[in-house]
């Protein structure tokens, strides 16, 4: 496509309109449910969740045996929960340290 140097038509045409609607719905849900105080942080979190849904949707649908629309909607919505849990775990260094010490067989006090 010589008239589309950034391949936007190829990206948009790779999924059906129903999948795009599900993706937008998932992203809007994540944006609305986000607890971040700044608008930029909510947009970034929703964008990452949408990218997870877009990129993993077809593989997840094939693996689960469901429609692409359902997989994209669930991944983009549940992606928010996964990101939230992962962010909470990484932010709490004491918990990570305790888990590592237990896994390595060490004592809790050091």
Whether 22 contacts 72, CB under 8 Å:
yes
The domain limits of the chain are 16-103
pLDDT band at 109 (very low <50, low <70, confident <90, very high): low
pLDDT tens digits for 3-56? 766 776 777 677 788 888 888 898 898 888 888 888 998 898 888 888 888 888
1 vs 21: CA distance, rounded Å: 25
- Other beta carbons within 10 Å of 22: 25
Higher local confidence (pLDDT), 79 or 62: 62
- The answer, as to whether pTM is greater than 0.75, is no
The radius of gyration computed from the CA coordinates of the chain, to the nearest angstrom, equals 18
């Amino acid at each position: 496509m010589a008239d589309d140097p950034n391949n936007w038509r190829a990206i948009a045409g790779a999924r059906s309109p129903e999948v795009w609607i599900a993706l937008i719905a998932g992203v809007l849900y994540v944006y609305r449910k986000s607890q971040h105080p700044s608008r930029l942080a909510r947009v970034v979190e929703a964008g990452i969740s949408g990218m997870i849904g877009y990129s993993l949707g077809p593989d997840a649908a094939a693996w689960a045996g469901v429609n692409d629309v359902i997989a994209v909607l669930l991944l983009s919505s549940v992606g928010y929960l996964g990101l939230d849990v992962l962010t909470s775990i990484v932010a709490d260094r004491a918990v990570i340290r305790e888990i590592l010490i237990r896994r390595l067989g060490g004592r809790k006090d050091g």
